[in-house]
Amino acid sequence: MALNIPLKTVKPNYELKAKVIENGCCALMRKISLTKWKLGQAEVNFMNNGEVDQFVKLYSLNQKLSSRLEDYDPEEIEESKKVNNASYCRTKRLRNRVMAMLKKDECIFLTLTFKNSVLNNTNEETRKKYIKRFLKETCYEYIANIDYGKKNEREHYHAVVIAKDNKIDNALYSYGSINFERVHLRSDESDFENTSKRLSKYVNKLTNHAIKNTVRQNRVIYSRYNKKMENERILKKVFGVDIQFV
């Protein structure tokens, strides 16, 4: 008879994740990975065309970068691999979502800040609820993530959204101020790809920045699919009328 033995789950070590992001181990591992890939390409060119200069240059760089791993212990190196792999997978999911949004409708890039009274009298989880509520009320679709200012580590949020009426009403956001920038695209496929890649990498970068600052888990905020809202968006875009489903 088969025994149902629950598997033991290992709780993520966010202090270690923050450490390897902060001390440069993650960045070094990414450089090594990219250099190894380029070295493989250069080796093919060397074997086929005798192009030796680039191969030697990359081989020397790979050796130099690999020697710097001695500055980190095995636990840090393994954790860096996990962080980088999670970041790669997250960026891929984000890129697919942003690409779908860009193809669907015009997008706006938002920066949402908090005034001092909100920061002083609420906690981070409450402020996150404020952001989610505002985006849900004013946007058909959105992706958002927390960020912290470079100078004073002031908390704020960035979001890529498809806004209702294709505009953002500052008066509806009572927690601080909003800055926005419309995402301009050409019609060719490559521009969609490049723009979605840039936006997804930026939003994903905020996750690691948040882990480094808060030493705890941070998740990207995604809007949920709402069939009624999507039908409303399509009809309004096609016919230019304000139709709401009840």
Residue 240 — pLDDT band, cuts 50, 70, 90? low
- C-alpha distance from residue 94 to each of 25, 142, 160, 223 (Å): 24, 11, 11, 12
**Span 172-200, average pLDDT:** 77
Q: Which residue did the predictor score with more confidence, 242 or 232?
A: 232
Residue 65 — pLDDT band, cuts 50, 70, 90? very high
pLDDT given at position 23: 92
Q: Quote the mean pLDDT of the chain.
A: 82
The pLDDT tens digits of the residues spanning 182-195 come to 887 765 556 667 77
The pLDDT tens digits of the residues spanning 34-55 come to 999 999 988 888 888 878 888 8
pLDDT given at position 243: 47
**Span 17-32, average pLDDT:** 92
- C-alpha distance from residue 36 to each of 20, 42, 50, 55, 103 (Å): 21, 10, 19, 11, 34
**Span 128-148, average pLDDT:** 91
Share of the chain above pLDDT 90, in %: 34
pLDDT given at position 135: 94
Q: Is pLDDT of 7 > 70?
A: no
Domain ranges of the chain: 14-72, 89-239
Q: Is pLDDT of 245 > 60?
A: no
CATH classification number, 89-239, choose in 3.40.1310, 3.30.1120, 3.30.160, 1.10.3470: 3.40.1310
Strand partners, 179: 111
The pLDDT tens digits of the residues spanning 88-101 come to 888 788 788 888 88
d(CA 198, CA 141): 19
Share of the chain above pLDDT 70, in %: 83
pLDDT given at position 13: 85
pLDDT given at position 106: 86
pLDDT given at position 183: 81
Residue 28 — pLDDT band, cuts 50, 70, 90? very high
Least Cα distance to 200 among 220, 228, 182 occurs for 220
CA–centroid distance for 239 within its chain: 34
Q: What is the 3-state secondary structure (H, E, C) of 188-200?
A: CHHHHHHHHHHHH
